[in-house]
């Protein structure tokens, strides 16, 4: 499970979680780290999309773990898109965040496979 190929998927999920959390976090947290992570969101969404849609060519024993991580990345991407649509529809930000935070919590479980 600690094969370098598997770690690439796990790291991509962790990075995506970090960027989405930084994006929805309230501004003025007093550090540039959240802004840096938020600024990388589009690149991390692209990376997650490429990894999730690709074919894993590692050990057969790692394939279920990678598939689970890819599923978490896809679900998280969908939840973020839904969050953005809800904000554009003038839904209250706190209400839109509820489902996104649930998806983030679920995605974090993919880090501990």
Q: What is the pTM of this model?
A: 0.84
Give the pair of three-digit tokens for residue 47. Answer: 């990376």
What digits encode the pLDDT tens for the residues 9-27? 999 999 999 999 988 875 5
Residue 85 class from Cβ within 10 Å (0-12 exposed, 13-18 middle, 19+ buried)?
A: exposed
Residues 6+ apart with CB under 8 A from 19: 37, 38, 40, 41, 44, 45
What digits encode the pLDDT tens for the residues 24-57? 875 555 555 666 777 899 999 999 999 999 888 8
- What does the pLDDT read at residue 30? 54
Rg of the chain over CA atoms, in angstroms? 15
More confident residue, 17 or 112: 17
- What does the pLDDT read at residue 37? 78
Q: Is residue 3 very low, low, confident or very high in pLDDT (cuts 50, 70, 90)?
A: confident
Q: Pick the closest to residue 80 from 103, 63, 108 (CA basis).
A: 103
């Amino acid at each position: 499970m600690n094969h370098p190929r598997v770690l690439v998927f796990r790291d991509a999920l962790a990075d995506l979680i970090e960027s989405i959390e930084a994006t929805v976090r309230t501004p003025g947290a007093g550090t540039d780290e959240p802004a840096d992570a938020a600024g990388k969101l589009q690149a991390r969404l692209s990376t997650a999309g490429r990894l999730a849609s690709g074919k894993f060519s590692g050990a057969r024993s790692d394939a279920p773990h990678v598939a689970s991580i890819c599923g978490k990345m896809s679900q998280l991407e969908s939840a973020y898109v839904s969050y953005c649509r809800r904000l554009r529809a003038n839904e209250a930000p706190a209400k839109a965040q509820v489902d996104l935070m649930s998806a983030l919590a679920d995605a974090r479980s993919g880090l501990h496979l």
